[in-house]
Amino acid sequence: MADTEKIQVSDLSFIGYINKEEIQAKVSEIAARLNEDYADKNPMFLVILNGAFIFAADLIRQFNHDCEVNFIRIKSYHNTESTGNVEIFMPHEIPFEGRHIVIVEDIIDTGNTMAAFLPVLHSKNPASVSICAFLVKPEAHMHDIKTEYPGFVIPKKFVLGYGLDYNGLGRNLADLYQLSK
DSSP-assigned letter for residue 32: H
- Which residue among the candidates 58, 106, 109, 175 is catalytic per the annotation? 109
Q: 21: which DSSP letter?
A: H
Coil, strand or helix: which one is 140?
A: helix
Which three-class secondary structure state does DSSP give residue 60?
A: helix
Question: Exposure of 70 by Cβ count < 10 A (0-12 exposed, 13-18 middle, 19+ buried)?
Answer: middle
Q: For 164, phi and psi rounded to 5 degrees?
A: -90, 145
Enter the DSSP assignment of 44: E
Active site includes 106?
no
User: Is residue 67 within 8 Å of residue 44, measured between CB atoms?
Assistant: yes
Query: Annotated catalytic sites, by residue?
Result: 109
